[in-house]
Amino acid sequence: MSFKAHLSTLLLASCWLCHAQAQAQVRDEFTPWEEIAQTPPAEFSTDELITVDNPTRSQLTYGVVPSTVVVGEDKVVRYVLVAKSKTGAMNVQYEGIRCDIGAVKVYANWRASSGWRMRATPDWIELRLAPSRYAQSMARDALCNVRIVYGEPALLVQRLRDAAPLR
């Protein structure tokens, strides 16, 4: 086989490989995203909260329960967030952040007297439009690498801890 024949064969194989990879990417891009069903953690402790920044004016301090940070198969980072007032009152929520679209969702609220109460119709809200900015800070500082999740839960928890002294 001549050099030209070898070169043509290599070129043809290369084009086929590029085409196959492009088709796989297109298929992935157009596969509809589907959220997996959610259940808040049965137990959690507020003893070791990781402080998160809320750039808006607020009398509340915000913290994530580290043991509740998970990354779902749907690429949503979920966690329990605790908002505390100076008097000790707490608001506890089970939330998720989607790095791919830059959005946050509150799935459920917790009350000491009754436990978790799922929200009837939770919606994704753009991080920049959310009423509180802590989710935007968490996504930017620790959870998202632009539009993808930074890594496994242990790494995300460490990144949250590393960012906490900056606040």
pLDDT, tens digit only, all 167 positions of the chain: 665 554 455 444 444 444 444 444 444 567 899 999 989 999 999 999 999 988 777 889 999 999 999 999 999 999 999 999 999 999 999 999 999 999 999 999 999 999 999 999 999 999 999 988 899 999 999 999 989 999 999 999 999 999 865 54
31 phi and psi angles, rounded to 5 deg: -75, 120
Q: How far apart are CA 36 and CA 73, in angstroms?
A: 8
Residues 90/81, Cβ–Cβ less than 8 Å: no
pLDDT value for 124: 97
Q: How confident is the model at residue 158, as a pLDDT?
A: 97
What pLDDT shows up at residue 21? 46
Separation CA 12–CA 73 (nearest Å)? 37
Residue at token pair 């929520």: 93
- Domain residue limits, the chain: 1-31, 50-166
Q: What is the rounded distance in angstroms from the CA atom of residue 123 to the CA atom of residue 91?
A: 19
- pTM to 2 decimal places: 0.79
Across 85-138, where does the E strand assignment appear?
A: 90-98, 103-111, 115-118, 125-126
